Structure 1
Amino acid sequence: MTSLLLVEDDAVIRTSVSLALERYGYHVTTADDGLSGLEAAQTGGHDLLLLDVMLPSLDGISLCRKIRETSQVPILMMSARGDGLDVVAGLEGGADDYVVKPVDLPVLVARIRSLLRRTTIAQPQPETGQVGATLAFGELSVDTGSLEVRRAGQRLELSPTELRLLLEFAAHPGIVLERATLLRTVWDYGWDGDSRVVDLCVQRLRKKVGAERIETVRGFGYRLNTT
């Protein structure tokens, strides 16, 4: 059973969301403040973390950053509607996606399923007799079989979303990929989503693979520099 950790200080929201997610077949562990959420996250065993932005003892953005120091577990942030600064800060802190509050349950479940699928794609597959190719772009190499990424020989630790994004670029080297396209292929959005998630994830990825490796094509999107 897929295990989720929900960190939310509002007892009504915490109870209603956890019960609703359990009806969808998830096992939900809860915490009511940032520090207890950090302790629960560090015990491991969760497939996805759902963090509220506004938390006592340790806010959700700081909690996200602390978790990212040691773990690449998928993280979904919950932000008050229209609070753009929180959304940006959460994504910059390492979150993979976000939902707005009050939470729309079908949207929340869709985002959870999408993120979990992304995580599955970003896992090495069992041996099938086929050997994955190693793609090289300057000092960056991507092994499509083991899903190991190296820069100048050093292995990089990428979150599932960062890895899925890099694989999408690597599959289309030198080709401009629009933000809307990346939202569909990486985030699995069946509708127009917030392009900030693309921009901020690209920023995080650039810090790891090299700022020159992923180029911005103004007014269109991004492309992988192959030289």
Structure 2
Amino acid sequence: MEQQVNILIVDDEDRIRRLLRMYLERENYVIDEAENGVEALEMALNNDYNCILLDLMMPGKDGIEVCNELREHKNTPVIMLTAKGEESNRVQGFEVGTDDYIVKPFSPREVVLRVKALLRRSSQSDFPRPGTSARDIIVYPHLSIDHDAHRVTANGQEVNLTPKEYELLHFLAKSPDKVFDREQLLKEVWQYEFFGDLRTVDTHVKRLREKLNRVSEKAAGMIVTVWGVGYKFEAGNE
């Protein structure tokens, strides 16, 4: 029996919520709606959603504030809905932990595909695959990544990452000492042709380092900036 997928749609425009609900319910997802940030935050904290579609510009508490406050308590995957002229806000959204964004006006089919991609990437975050004998685990002196369980530990302590932060760390760690430029990381980690600001990578690396650093400075130091090029995972960092 397939596990129920619960999605929260947050937008102050009723027509957008109805449109998204119609397309997502066709995929047998269970949909809740919120029309403002205050209501959305309360629902997101009191329920375990598989994904939240969050409008950026709303009266009262906007999407940035909602995501920032949500990230203090949960790592629920978030896709931000933004208007074309809000590029700086989109970068700010990534800084507070947004996993993806979709620009208005959007194709509802694109939204469904983005949601499916995000759900695939985060579907194993809680439970390992049953019946797995040889686990997919990457182990370094100060850091281990259990890919079957999507679990990261540094110095024996679990590190709570958003799906995108986890993917970025895993991608770098499975190719130690190989340098990737920002364009490569956007294409490989985001898994589609991405036309966003390259600072998206920088903000995710910054957040990833900050979370690792709270537990282990040495683990955080394994993600190395190669100036003028991009980033690499330095396996021999001590």
Equivalent residue for 1:214? 223
Deviation per CA, 1:32-72: give whole Å up to 9, x if none: 01111111112223110011111233111110011111111
Equivalent residue for 1:110? 113
Report the 3-state secondary structure (helix = DSSP H, G, I; strand = E; otherwise coil) of the residue aligned with 1:73.
coil
Query: Conserved in 1, the CA contact under 8 Å of 2:145 and 2:151?
Result: yes
The residue type paired with residue 22 of structure 2 is: L
The answer on 1:225 being equivalent to 2:234 is: yes
Report the 3-state secondary structure (helix = DSSP H, G, I; strand = E; otherwise coil) of the residue aligned with 1:186.
helix
Structure 2 segments unaligned to the other structure (5+ residues): 214-219
Query: Conserved in 1, the CA contact under 8 Å of 2:44 and 2:70?
Result: yes
Query: Conserved in 2, the CA contact under 8 Å of 1:122 and 1:163?
Result: no
Equivalent residue for 1:19? 22
Equivalent residue for 2:140? 136
Q: TM-score, normalised by structure 2?
A: 0.85
C-alpha distance 135-59 of structure 1, shift in aligned 2 (>3 A): same
Equivalent residue for 2:68? 65
Q: Tell me the distance in 2 between the aligned counterparts of 1:209 and 1:173.
A: 17
Report the 3-state secondary structure (helix = DSSP H, G, I; strand = E; otherwise coil) of the residue aligned with 1:77.
strand
Report the 3-state secondary structure (helix = DSSP H, G, I; strand = E; otherwise coil) of the residue aligned with 1:35.
helix
Query: Conserved in 2, the CA contact under 8 Å of 1:76 and 1:99?
Result: yes
The alpha carbon displacement at 1:152 in A equals 3.2
C-alpha distance 82-146 of structure 1, shift in aligned 2 (>3 A): same
Equivalent residue for 2:182? 179
Q: TM-score, normalised by structure 1?
A: 0.89
The residue type paired with residue 128 of structure 1 is: T
- 1:1-227 maps to which residues of 2 (within 5 A)? 1-123=4-126, 124-137=128-141, 139-189=142-192, 191-194=193-196, 195-210=198-213, 212-226=221-235, 227=237
Identity value in percent? 37
Equivalent residue for 2:216? none
Equivalent residue for 2:217? none
The residue type paired with residue 200 of structure 2 is: V
Q: Tell me the distance in 2 between the aligned counterparts of 1:71 and 1:100.
A: 24
The residue type paired with residue 30 of structure 1 is: E
The alpha carbon displacement at 1:141 in A equals 3.0
RMSD over equivalenced CA pairs, Å: 2.1
Paired residues in the alignment total 225
Q: Tell me the distance in 1 between the aligned counterparts of 2:57 and 2:85.
A: 14
